[in-house]
Amino acid sequence: MGRSIFYVFVPFLVLLVITSSACLLSYFIALSFNDPAILRKLMIRLSQIMLLLSIFPVSKWLGLNKEMLGYAPFKIMFKQFGRGFGLSLLILLPVFFTLNVLGVHSVDMTKAWTLGWVAKKIGIAFGLALLIGFVEESVFRGLLLTSLRKYLPAFSAVLISAIYYAGLHFLDSKSPVSEETLSLSGSFQLLSEAYHNVFAMQDVTAFLALLTVGLFLGVLRVRGDMNLALCIGCHTGWVTQIRISKSMFSIDLTSPYSFLVSNYDGVIGLLVAGWLLFVLTSYWLFTKVIKL
């Protein structure tokens, strides 16, 4: 039991080292440019880059190769990505349809609705989503989930990786930084505030929705060996749809059904959490019936 608890908290210790290093480096960069405004964004971006780069030394330390992390040959990954993207449409489009019918979402007619504008928004959304999907899935369903499965049962590994995935979306600080407050101690104070925001659980519905997203992607990952691209495609599809929705739809927070979405992005919330739990439960019951 004690060993299991140790492995649960090892990723947190690694994250703490990475974010602290990013905080230190960001401070010196902001100081050299004499631009306090870039400190917060630098801390976020450098932490993300370091998390991605950590895959290589941690994988080597744990004796994991790219196949064990879930990477297949390119042609296979391309096909997996397409299937995952298609799955994302099947999963999330009913959510958007429901929110539109209930009046929570509506088409924003103040936008410049031209073919070029729509194509540009879709292209930007897909490009950013692809980057986010690749990075986050490589870290969470690649390195983290694979590492945890070496020491924990599959269900525990999926759950813990999902908790880390959901929590890290709230690792941020909104406090402004000025020339007067730009200091090394002030930088670490920002980092401390960011961690406080994770544990404060200020948006419980968004956390629950992201947790179910992590569970869904985790279950998808453990159903095969070299299938990480399936998760990347699904993740990319979800983020693409959410970004397109934010660009083209408005949210009516006065709607009696607005509680179904959160303030995080106007999409994820109780509806997404409930829908994904329903899908996961249905899948579990289906596997029990056909005894997979």
Q: Which long-range contacts (CB under 8 A, 24 or more apart) does 146-153 make?
A: 146/64, 146/68, 146/69, 146/70, 147/11, 147/58, 147/62, 147/64, 148/7, 148/8, 148/11, 149/222, 150/62, 151/3, 151/4, 151/7, 152/4, 152/7, 152/8
Token pair belonging to 33: 């440019």
Confidence (pLDDT) at 148: 94
With pLDDT > 90 as the criterion, what percentage of the chain qualifies? 73
Which tens digit of pLDDT belongs to each residue from 130-143?
999 999 999 999 99
Average pLDDT of 5-23? 91
Which tens digit of pLDDT belongs to each residue from 244-266?
999 999 999 889 999 999 989 88
Average pLDDT of 181-190? 88
Confidence (pLDDT) at 217: 97
Q: Is residue 72 part of a domain?
A: yes
Which tens digit of pLDDT belongs to each residue from 22-41?
999 999 999 998 888 899 88
Q: Is residue 272 part of a domain?
A: yes
Model confidence, pTM: 0.93
Token pair belonging to 66: 């790219």
- Residue-range definition of the domain harbouring residue 78: 67-290
Q: Does residue 119 have a pLDDT over 90?
A: yes
Contact 210, 165 (CB under 8 A): yes
Average pLDDT of 91-108? 95
Confidence (pLDDT) at 1: 60
Using CA atoms, how far apart are residues 200 and 212, in angstroms rounded to an integer? 19
With pLDDT > 70 as the criterion, what percentage of the chain qualifies? 98
Q: Is residue 39 part of a domain?
A: no
* Overall number of domains in the chain: 1
Q: Is residue 76 part of a domain?
A: yes
Average pLDDT of 135-153? 94
Q: Which long-range contacts (CB under 8 A, 24 or more apart) does 6-15 make?
A: 7/148, 7/151, 7/152, 8/148, 8/152, 8/160, 11/144, 11/147, 11/148, 11/160, 11/164, 12/164, 14/54, 14/58, 15/51, 15/164, 15/168
Using CA atoms, how far apart are residues 231 and 213, in angstroms rounded to an integer? 11
Q: Does residue 174 have a pLDDT over 70?
A: yes
Confidence (pLDDT) at 288: 75
Confidence (pLDDT) at 192: 94
Q: Is residue 94 part of a domain?
A: yes
Q: Does residue 195 have a pLDDT over 80?
A: yes
CB-hemisphere CA count at 13 Å for 258? 12
Confidence (pLDDT) at 292: 52
- Please provide the average confidence, as pLDDT, over all residues in the chain: 92
Confidence (pLDDT) at 159: 96
Confidence (pLDDT) at 3: 67
Confidence (pLDDT) at 173: 87
- In which band, very low, low, confident or very high, does the pLDDT at 291 lie, cut at 50, 70 and 90? low
Q: Is residue 13 part of a domain?
A: no
- Burial environment of residue 228 by CB neighbours within 10 A (0 to 12, 13 to 18, 19 or more): buried
Using CA atoms, how far apart are residues 141 and 215, in angstroms rounded to an integer? 10
Confidence (pLDDT) at 85: 98
Q: Is residue 6 part of a domain?
A: no
Confidence (pLDDT) at 179: 79
